[in-house]
Amino acid sequence: MSNDINVNPGLRESATFDRTTMAEIRRAADTGIYDIRGFGAKRKLPHFDDLLFLGASMSRYPLEGYREKCNTRVTLGTRFAKKPIVIETPVTIAGMSFGALSANAKEALGRGASMVGTSTTTGDGGMTPEERGQSSKLVYQYLPSRYGMNPDDLRKADAIEVVLGQGAKPGGGGMLLGQKITDRVAQMRTLPKGIDQRSACRHPDWTGPDDLAIKIQELREITDWQVPIYIKVGATRTYYDVKLAVKAGADVIVVDGMQGGTAATQDVFIEHVGIPTLAAIPQAVQALQEMGMHRKVQLIVSGGIRNGADVAKCMALGADAVAIGTAALVALGCNDPKWSADYEKIGSAAGYYDDYQEGKDPAGISTQDPELSRRLDPVEGGRRLANYLRVLTLEAQTLARACGKNDLRNLEPEDLVALTVESAAMARVPLAGTTWIPGQQF
Amino acid sequence: MKTIDLAESSIRELNQALHDQATECTEREWAVLNPRGQHNIACGLDQNLAVDIQGHAGYFCAGMNKKAHVVVHGNVGQGVAENMMSGTVRVKGDASQAAGATAHGGLLVIEGNAGARCGISMKGVDIVVKGSIGHMSCFMGQSGSLVVCGDAGDALGDSMYEVHIYVKGKVKSLGADCTEKEMRPEHIDELTELLNRAGVDEDPRSFKRYGSARELYNFKVDNADAY
């Protein structure tokens, strides 16, 4: 936020001790406790912007942008479930809890997703009637905390997502500070009102992949094998995690890269644990291909997806669908400049706000304050999210047609090149203008 | 009484038959023969049934139970009655780790011993163990009661919230923020009622009560050494 125009050009800021770093040192010295915040990784990372599509020309045949069909429908959970989920666009809404988000925000997510025929997901706080009522396809998360977990809601779900971790904090549990534990949130989580709620980071009744296989069988038995079971992991040792998830019996695997958002955790966790989404996808796809399960066990990728190009690039690298969280909240109004004055009152600014844990969100999204929550109209929020999802889908189709593909899932790594050596190595596509894929023989 | 022999029928067939009773209850009493330690026996029940499992059961026996009354005439594996909502589960033998994990309601009685993490993250269930329990029991327990007629292992009640823990024997060590508390008359009454429901003949006045010191409910820099 500095105004560099007024800085004496003779003054040189340290790249190592920049102003943000020094501010954090001062904050730590003042308080004696680590910084807790929401949002995802803010550092610069190799990302989808480092990839480009090779559009069709002489050697490839493009499709007409406005006439020829490009399929976006995807079926998830075809391995074991009697009732797989069919989504009309491969962009789903990631798990976010009631508690972290207001009831209006959860309802808006459900409305928006339903309008375009895709799924939304519960979070670490159970299923609310508003969310179930407005979500035509609802994925019910099965988390280590098991807050609000009950067999009735389990049977109401269209899919079950066993959460082992998330990209913002692989190896860490959820966190919801006392100011957001209202009567309703406390009741849903069986906790005293006003405490700092620290969710477990490990599941309480199983350890390791062999146990997980039995746990998944239990969930299938309870739901009579009707609905798909997803396994969600934060992107770290993705190759091995995906293989173990397949072995444990997953129908769908969700891989969440380190750009994935959170409602609250330590800043040091967000910025220093996990790998970028770009690096995780090829590992996951390789694991599936080696097991002969690519496209049989579907892969959903999340973490930093913002536009249709990101969607198309995920699909080209081998994903079957993507999930968005932060981008969906921005579509609802998170960090909107229209609340600039209110952001400044709480020491932040539109575009920078990440203190979701404080419950003071001027946009009424990451809060339980009734007055702030009323600022978000769930009907209007749902309409905005649906618009945004349509744009993502149209953009992805545009790129797929340009590459000559009549289905988003026909995009392939061969359609991509990389702008940097790092992204070429991570995505396993050639550096633009070369045939060189770092780390691979040629 | 309806009998299902797991030497001839699959777990799927058993559970589907029991689940079908939630829609239309045609038989309240069920016997399960030859369980042979198989996993996920009688999980997801949602009807006032009496299910008699005649042998040992594996993981997650009676998981997410609602309304049903399940008796296991043997030992059980990990996570018996996990996330139970209501009803009763009685284990005649010993239970492996995570017995009654995350359970929201109902009564779990273990007539033998229970392993590590008994009552982990419990959310309202009542658990009565006639024998002893292993380490880290009631870890992050939120609500309900845990009664132990024998001894408790290391780190009892670590990071717990509002569970009432009653132990008759020795406690090897208490976990973070767990402390011994006064046994007031209302606790004697509660324990008496729990022992009666479980059919356990013990003197409630011979137990000690443990609960949360509530010092770690909110982040404080001064508590950093507790973690």
pLDDT in tens, B24-57: 999 999 999 999 999 999 999 999 999 999 999 9
Question: Residue A177 and residue B219: Cβ atoms within 8 Å?
Answer: yes
**Across the interface, which of B82, B142, B219 has its CB nearest the CB of A191?**
B142
Instruction: Give how far B80 is from chain A: nearest CA, Å.
Output: 9
How much is the mean pLDDT over chain B? 96
B14-31 mean pLDDT: 97
Percent of chain A with pLDDT over 70: 98
Q: What is the pLDDT of residue A3?
A: 53
Phi-psi region of B97 (alpha: psi -120 to 50; beta: other; left: phi over 0): beta
Residue B227 confidence class, pLDDT cut points 50, 70, 90: low
Residue A431: count of CB within 10 angstroms of its CB? 17
Q: What is the pLDDT of residue A134?
A: 94
A7-20 mean pLDDT: 92
Question: Residue B102 and residue A200: Cβ atoms within 8 Å?
Answer: no
What is the chain A residue with the closest CA to B11? Answer: A221
User: Rounded to two decimals, what is the model's pTM?
Assistant: 0.96
Strand partners, B32: B4, B53
Strand partners, A6: none
- Determine the topology of domain A38-427 in CATH: TIM Barrel (3.20.20)
By the 10 Å C-beta count (0-12 exposed, 13-18 middle, 19+ buried), A105 is classed as: buried
Does pLDDT of A173 surpass 70? Answer: yes
Q: What's the Cα-to-Cα distance from B27 to each of A53, B24, B36, B61, rounded to whole Å? A: 63, 9, 24, 20
Q: Give dist(CA A273, CA A169) in Å, integer.
A: 7
Instruction: Give how far B203 is from chain A: nearest CA, Å.
Output: 30
Non-local (6+) Cβ contacts of A144 within 8 A are A163, A173, A199, A200, A201, A202, A203, A204
Does pLDDT of A9 surpass 90? Answer: no
Q: What is the pLDDT of residue A4?
A: 61
Q: What is the pLDDT of residue B24?
A: 95
Lowest mean pLDDT among A4-18, A78-92, B58-72: A4-18
Residue A441 confidence class, pLDDT cut points 50, 70, 90: low
A226-243 mean pLDDT: 98
Q: Residue B190 half-sphere exposure, CB side, CA atoms within 13 Å?
A: 19
For chains A and B, count residue pairs whose Cβ atoms are closer than 8 Å: 99
**Across the interface, which of A204, A222, A224 has its CB nearest the CB of B121?**
A204
Two structure tokens written together for B145: 């009661």
Residue A185 confidence class, pLDDT cut points 50, 70, 90: confident
Residue type, position A145, single letter: S
Highest mean pLDDT among A199-203, A360-364, B217-221: A360-364
- Substitution target from A217, A221, A266 for chain B, most B beta carbons within 10 A: A221
Domain positions in chain A are: 38-427
Does pLDDT of A234 surpass 80? Answer: yes
Residue A1 confidence class, pLDDT cut points 50, 70, 90: very low
Phi first, then psi: what are they for A293, rounded to 5°?
Answer: -120, 5
Domain positions in chain B are: 1-79, 97-216
